[in-house]
Structure 1
Amino acid sequence: MKPVKFDYYSPKTVDEALTLLEEAGFDGKIIAGGQSLVPIMNMRLSSPECLIDINQLHDLQFIEFDSDKVKIGALTRQAEVERSDVVQKHLGLLSEAVPFIGHVQTRNRGTFGGSLVHADPTAEIPLSLMALGGTLHIASKEEVREVNVEDFFITYLTTDIMPNEMLTEIHIPIEQERNGYSFYEISRRHGDFALVASACQLTIDHLDRITNVRLVLGGVEATPLLIEGANEWMKGEVLSDSLLQKVEDIVDEMVDPESDIHATAEYRRHLSKKLAVRTVKSAYERARGEANERS
């Protein structure tokens, strides 16, 4: 199938793009990399009357280190994030997750912001950002507002962005001392959507006790699932078999996956528990290794 007829605009400035969004309302859609929107339009699951191409907005294409955070423009290509020395040095989890996205061609076109706005619950960038924390800067003609990542994803393919708004940049806190991270996903073939994915970032103190942890699962709910309370019941603990068993038990209680043509709910539940344990263990071991290297 092919998309229905639509009007096409290519603004040269953010202000021009926001004006077009204001005029289009619910009938307008932003297109950048098009890796998600174009297939959906071809299947006529989305039929916008107006496409606003933001590929000329080069001010939204950047990766910058700024004191205690990394700033990434919404138009930055996923391949740029993958190759970035800044990301590799300060956001190891993101650097580890991005290569799992589709294929090289996908990452060359797909944008960092586009993946977040599309909000697929199995996608690597939303999952990673939920584990890293951070804020999303969302602009309209009236204001620029900041939204914490925990409040950004509403439900399946739905975010906090209104029709007259656009994501402009993302601020992500850098890794701390004695930090460890890990990302795993299971898919049927390389480049396929993940059946289940898991990301973990944690820090430890000089006695190897966990001081902070964020554990996130993808593919088991309508949005990336941050395991609430993990920081409370893991804080002050060292890695042990009993702790990992508790991780598995808590995940089993929290996830509520659905069956589809790719996997049963039972299989996704099994993967969720095993991947959560694996990411926590790997992140902890990485934190210990890096701590030992610095000592």
Structure 2
Amino acid sequence: MLLYGACQKYTLIIITFTFNTSVDQRPLIRLKSVPKSGGAIKAEDLKHHVFIYQLYDPKKLLYRAFCAGSIISEERVLTSTHCFLTNRKRKKRNFDRIRIGAGILDTLVKKIVFDDKQQWRKIEHLYTQRFYRFPAYNLAIVKVNNDWVFNEFVNKIPYTKWNQDFDGVCVGTGVRTIKSWSKNKHLFAVNFHLVTRRICEQNLLRSCFLYYCTEYDIKKLSSTEIEGGGLVCYDTGDPAEGIKNGVLIGVTSLINVGLPSLHNRVGLYHKWVTDGSKH
């Protein structure tokens, strides 16, 4: 059987789209100061830093840290949503068993009711970003049940008003054991070397518009207890920066080994953080 049909000519048009995520639109701000790394920390050195604890031993009133955060106002702590919620925004932990401790340098501690350094608070409310999907939109604000008492050991830190890109070194926190057999870990300072967005995207094969990317000495840092902690820079030119305590520019979200780590940008969501810290 022979089939007869009309002969038609087709022109194939190929359209090529180029998607470039690595173009840095903002100029790099070169940081002048280089913080010290690995040194011993006193409570008064990081007044804004808090550990977020969960009840570990009810009989001994022992609490173990699982995350960190930064005090940004009298009753607010800026931290990571991933510490508390799944990607479906379901609670990972019982909030009634969680305490937030300021003026404390250890990850395993006994709660002391009356102490001139330690301050313990409960979670009254957790504010999260609408489109949270770890590690994206991972900023969280915790409202505590009682105001912090600011003193020589506990205080707030200013957070950035601008979304800038930096070239240099900022300071974060790490934890490590003092004794090899100990379950407790102690807080210390870590230098985070900032990586440009272009290089970060090439290494991680993803858009890094929402993050600061950093590298660090793996020998000094490998712990989940620092998630939610602050990335603090100095001599940034930001109007919010303090004279001695720098300015908070990021919240640690994802610590990678052998690849750049991610810190959610604070300046990108300054209005959200400010509104959340007031209401």
Q: So what's the TM-score if we normalise by structure 2? A: 0.31
User: Which protein has greater RCO, CA pairs closer than 8 Å, 6+ apart?
Assistant: 2
Higher helix fraction (1 or 2): 1
Larger radius of gyration: 2
Q: So what's the TM-score if we normalise by structure 1? A: 0.29
